[in-house]
Structure 1
Amino acid sequence: MTILSRFLWLATVLMFATGAAQPVQAFNLPAGAKLRAEERDDAGRATIATERFNGEAVPSIVAEGQIVRQAWKVDGTSQTSFQILLGLRDQLIQDGFDILFQCQSVSCGGYDFRFGVGHFKAPDMFVDLGDYHYLSARKEGQLTSVLVSRSKEAAFIEVLQLNPEDSAASKAPAISAQTAVRIPSSGPIGALLENNGRTVLDGLSFATGSSELTDGNVPVLNELATYLNRNPEREIILVGHTDAEGSLAGNVTLSRKRATAVMNSLIQQYEVNPAQLSAEGVGFLMPLTPNLTAEGREMNRRVEAVLISTD
């Protein structure tokens, strides 16, 4: 850990150590860690995930107290995101914290979980939707969560730390059950991507078992193409989804083909730069609604756009 990063952590500790309150947890971060963003609140509210995405929301608790949120970037590290998380996890355990929940991208619930947690956005905090790790921990009234991911060149760490306003042992912070609200898909597509990180591409229609778009003239693709053509530095992943009819392997392949069909339409019909686009598929693992009705299955046959730019 560099002198600068250690100093910034200690400065945060001193700012928030008032009276008998315990200081926030000070991590030894990987060498070269640089603070990219920080927010502090003496009397704030923070949400901590306690379970994986359950199909509708991320089960969480909310606590009130002194809050520190920080985003760190570690350039040039050879450590994987999992190795970084394990190092921070060991430090928490050694300091007496109990681990409430830990997961990696797939077991967390993919991008639905990622967009239900975390506070900072790119370029301060980059999250690879296929390679991120999360944990939450508690020590008496103190709560901590850590989100770790990496790009090809750097690792990114987001830390949330909360101390109760009154840290006396006999009084725990006010904690109540809370679940994250699903991200709406209405509104200008550029604003949805830059504020929420993703959006459902409404108006696309796929028949069961087919990767062919049933309508070649889709307003949302025109809107998305306009946004991308006006912002050539932006990149997105198109993520395909299916209903639950058929095998998982077959549906993952089909969902990828659907995302690819949308990508090809954007390139061929709307002249979007191919370098701004990629396509993936997750099958029926991330439904918007139960597959018990024809209407539900139609809703689940969709493609979403996920913004992956870090600058």
Structure 2
Amino acid sequence: MTLKTIPPRRSRRSLLAGGLLGFAVAAGAPAAAKDVAGGKDHPLVGRYDGATLQLYKAKDYEEQRLLTKRITGADIRAAGGRRLSDANAIKVAGKAFRLKYSGPKGRSALEVARNLQDGLKAKGFEILFQCRAAECSDLNGGELYFALNDESPMGRGDIRSGVPDVLYASAVLRRPEGDVYAGVYVGQFGDTPETLVDVVETRPMEAEKIVFVDASAMQQAIEADGRVALYGVLFDFDKATLRSDAKPTMDEIGKLLTANPALKVVVAGHTDADGAFDYNVDLSKRRAASVVATLVKRYGVAPARLKSFGVGMASPVATNDTDAGRAKNRRVELVKAAE
């Protein structure tokens, strides 16, 4: 059933008492004629009545950051230029969605945003953070745009810049089967609001999809092919910091190098094609250097036996047009070097 906007002369209290919800979110409403092909509303967020779905993206497993505090210049500097960091955002992972709506014409961004926020609350979501215009950043209104548009693994170029009025809210729904996080951004373009919705349904990653390579298998691959690709060397999102679950694979690399004291390797970092070329090269370079530093410090490998190298997206092993392909391209390789 499509839920209509509150009539102007009736109080919200009276509507709630009568069993109606006072917001214009149409979860599960019939798709508009101009909706993007294959797109659909997320059932826990829905859409503002009369809006058109222009963008629909879904990934089986992705990491996403949702803003939980005001963006400040000090936090950006401390995070090396990133607008979303541990200082102001929460990082969540799971099945991820990104949807963009336009309209309806004649409505304000404020009205659309407040209705969507009320809809989230009615479904049991807790609002983590909300802001409007200058409340979102101590720099300028564009910082929120850049944070959501340029720093999201769900893609870039999904929203327009130069918005005179913007509103944002992040929220979480706690569930036994996995929490659901939502970020809702609404901007005003003339007489037409535009809405960007990010949703992450948290759940454990399918462990069987990770290929664990032990020291013996690494040695066999290097002897046969001169290289071995490793998918268990995992890093924090958009960082060169090794995650705790990278330790089993790092332990095996340490065993390999300890058992073969004459072996020298190039540690090569690889990324997928999401993001700018130069940025990915730099990220892969920093990640490879982090692996080398850990092998030296934690496993006692002589620095002269190791060389780090950042390949970026330049050497894919699969297509970058699918989630599965991009996952194969994100890897660390050990390449045998001349003795």
* TM-score of the aligned structures, taking structure 1 as reference length: 0.45
Q: Relative contact order (alpha carbons < 8 A, sep ≥ 6): 1 or 2 greater?
A: 1
Q: Which has the larger Rg?
A: 2
